[in-house]
Structure formats: C-alpha cells, structure tokens
Structure 1
Amino acid sequence: MNILVNKNILRFLVLITLSIVLISCDDTLTVEDVDSKPMPQSNISFAENIYPILQVKCAFSGCHAQPNPSKGLDLSTYTGVTADPRIVFPREPDHSILVFTIEAIPSYPPMPPVGYAKPVTNEQIRGIRKWIEEGALNN
C-alpha cells in the first residue's frame, strides 16, 4: 500500500513540475529581440533572419496572417511569402513588391502601416533584399 501511495505522489509531483516548466517556457519573439539581432552580410536564412522579422512586424492577427490575411497576403509561412512572384521575385529584389512596401516606395502603401508596428529597420531591409537576391530560399 505504501509503495502505491508513494508512486502516486511521485507521479503527481512529476506532473506538477512538468506543468510549471512548460508554463514558464516562452519563445515569443518581441520587436526588441528582432531589432537587436544582427543581420549577416550574406547567406541569409529565411528561418533565422527573415521569418522573425515578418512574424513580429507583418504576420500577426489583423494583418498578414491566417485566418484572414489582409489583402489575401499571408506572410506567416515561407509558402505564403513566396506564393506570388510579384511579392517576392527570387533574385530580383528591385522587382519585389515586398521590398517596395518596406522601403515605402511612392505609389506603394508603406508597410507596416504607421501606428501598427515598428518599421522595418534599414539593416532588416538590407537583409530582406539580400535574401531575395540570394534566391529567396527556404533555409
């Protein structure tokens, strides 16, 4: 009987400990995290360098994320980002609407819109341009 009680107590303690660990884990990126991360000069990674920028500055509820992405443009996944070659034209940043909007080129709406999120930094724009120039790879 004692062994059964001890096993139940042990299971309960393990369950409580795991719950606390899982609750305390927070991998949510902040704008500050993304803005402070240096951008490499080359070999830009979508997962490491581009996706975090899009996640905190473009792909959130009410903007370019599921279930109802603004203008039908889903920037929450690589597939969504690269689905329309007008948005991201691999190897051609000067022909990519994503670049036009983050650089606030006249006749294109500036993104992110003023007041919605912090603007994409010059370093991040350089990185996005370089990623597109390198082929807009899913890496």
Structure 2
Amino acid sequence: MKKWFFKRGFLIALIFGAASCKNTVSGPNGQTTIVFPSSNVSYIKYIQPLFNIDCNYSGCHDSGTKAGGLDLTDYNSAMSVPGVIVPGNSKSSILVQRITGQLPIMPPPPLPTLTPNQIQGIKTWIDEGAKDN
C-alpha cells in the first residue's frame, strides 16, 4: 500500500512539474521574456509570443495603430509588408536591421531592447524560412 501511494504521489508531481515547464523566464519588471532555442524556431511557440509581449500593444505594432505601417498581431499581418521579413534572408530583413540597430533601433528608447538570444532567435526563424509553424 505504501509503495503504491509513493508511486502515485511521485507520478502526480512529475506530471505537474513537466506541465509547468515553459520556454520563458520572468523579466525584471515581472514581464515574460521568451527564451529561444538555437534551431527549429517555431513562429507559434516563440515569435508570436515575443511580438505579443514586446511589439504589438496599443500605440505600437497592434492592429489599430500599425506604427510604421506594421501590424505584428498575427503571421499574415507580419508578412504583409514587403521587405520587413524576407524568408531565408535575415540580413535583408528590415525587422532584423531594426532590432540590431543597423536602422533606427526598435523598440525605441526608453523601452528595453530585445535580448541577444531573442535577436538570434528571430534571425534563425527568418533564415529557416520564416514559416507559420
């Protein structure tokens, strides 16, 4: 009986522990920071959540404001402006040029810039074809 109880408790703890694993960490102000893998970057798991946190809110790149003509609320909107995201070529993508400071930096000061991991993750996603995956 005790073995069964112990195994059951261990299994429940394992299930809840695995369910709580995410690809995020808390930022200094309680915001969520997306942590990207080095390859196989998924738009749904990494890119859109990052856009939701850092880009597409009121006054910036949401569907109402579309700052600079860019709406980052969904894949089709993000891909609709020619040159912003060039699938397979991050160096030619205006988005990468903006987040790396080759063009005027985004997000603009005093907002915090993206982390090196996030910048590399966006580059990797674009170089992997900028898929809606």
Q: Same fold (TM over 0.5)?
A: yes
The 8 Å contact of residues 90 and 96 in structure 2, kept in 1 or not, is answered as yes
Q: 1:68 aligns with which of 40, 65, 68?
A: 65
The 1:31–1:76 alpha-carbon spacing in structure 2 relative to 1, beyond 3 Å, is farther
How far apart in 1 are the matches of 2:25 and 2:72? 17
Q: Which amino acid aligns with 2:75?
A: Y
Aligned to 2:53: 56
How far apart in 2 are the matches of 1:45 and 1:66? 22
The 1:125–1:61 alpha-carbon spacing in structure 2 relative to 1, beyond 3 Å, is same
Q: 1:42 aligns with which of 39, 48, 58?
A: 39
Correspondence 1:124 to 2:118: yes
The 8 Å contact of residues 25 and 35 in structure 2, kept in 1 or not, is answered as no
The alignment of Structure 1 onto Structure 2 pairs a total of residues equal to 107
The 8 Å contact of residues 31 and 57 in structure 1, kept in 2 or not, is answered as no
Using the size of structure 2 for normalisation, the TM-score is 0.74
The 1:57–1:30 alpha-carbon spacing in structure 2 relative to 1, beyond 3 Å, is farther
More helix by share: 1
Please state how far the C-alpha of 1:84 moved relative to its aligned partner: 2.2
Correspondence 1:111 to 2:101: no
Where in structure 1 do 4 or more consecutive aligned residues deviate above 4 Å?
none
Query: Percent identity over the alignment?
Result: 36
Correspondence 1:100 to 2:94: no
The 8 Å contact of residues 64 and 75 in structure 1, kept in 2 or not, is answered as yes
Aligned to 2:76: 79
Please state how far the C-alpha of 1:41 moved relative to its aligned partner: 1.2
Please state how far the C-alpha of 1:31 moved relative to its aligned partner: 6.9
More strand by share: 2
Deviations 1:52-76 (A, max 9, x none): 1111111110001111211211011
Q: Which protein shows a greater Rg?
A: 1
Structure 2: 5+ residue stretches without partners: 1-23
